[in-house]
Amino acid sequence: MSQEQLLGDGLSALGLALSRETQEKLLEYLALISKWNKVHNLTAVRDPEEMVGLHLLDSLAVLPHLKCSTLLDVGSGAGLPGIPLALARPDLKVTILDSSHKKTTFQRQAKAELGISNLEVVCSRVEQFKPAQQFDCVISRAFSDIAEFLKLTAHLVEPDGHWLAMKGVYPYEELAQAGLENVEVVPLSVPGVEAHRHLVRIEAKK
């Protein structure tokens, strides 16, 4: 099955309506990752079909849970989930942060080639990042365990903002270690991804 069909079917299964232009840009983004992967190891996923599920649909599955106007993606790597979310939500101001110069160089290239005006790329260690304004929401996909994620990004979240941690299996141990009880854990069903996926939503409430 083509990437176009996999993406279209996956978006339908997720109940997401994205324009043809947005879908084309999402696939252009995958093509850029594939191109850069030949020289730089951006992601371990190389199969074109797997990339649709594991990169695009996995990122876009959190869209219904994004109740914010400014979003920081920490440890973004190849730009996941930040770039797909910025493409899908042009009204959302997205900042993607990574400490790797190689990865942020790729992110800037993707921003330029895809014309993503609502995206800002920052190369910095998270604890050293001091933006002019805090963010409504801070998200991470493969950054660290939950306790470390909250500790390192506490200075980046608005007082009434929240964190979103994208996880695989239900993170019982991580939540216990972080001493968190009043959190929302949403199971996600991602088309093309057989593994368990969960989204952990944590209110800042400072």
pLDDT in tens, the chain (206 residues): 899 999 999 999 999 999 999 999 999 999 999 999 888 888 888 888 899 999 999 999 999 999 999 999 999 999 999 999 999 999 999 999 999 999 999 999 999 999 999 999 999 999 999 999 999 999 999 788 999 999 999 999 999 999 999 999 999 999 999 998 779 999 999 998 999 999 999 999 75
Indicate the SS3 state at residue 93: strand
How far apart, in whole angstroms, are the C-alpha atoms of residue 184 and residue 97? 25
Task: Name the amino acid, one letter, at 48.
Answer: P
Binding site for S-adenosyl-L-methionine: what residues are annotated? Answer: 75, 80, 98-100, 126-127, 141
> What pLDDT score does 206 carry?
56
Q: What is the CATH number of the domain that holds 175?
A: 3.40.50.150
Write out the residue range of the structural domain in which residue 115 sits: 3-203
Q: How many domains does the chain have?
A: 1
How far apart, in whole angstroms, are the C-alpha atoms of residue 117 and residue 2? 28
Distances (CA, A) of 113 to 29, 32, 45: 9, 9, 22
- Strand order, beta sheet including 70-74: 119-123, 93-98, 70-74, 135-140, 157-167, 197-203, 184-188
Structure tokens at 193: 């991804």
Binding site: what residues are annotated? Answer: 75, 80, 98-100, 126-127, 141
Task: Name the amino acid, one letter, at 139.
Answer: I
Q: What is the pTM of this model?
A: 0.96
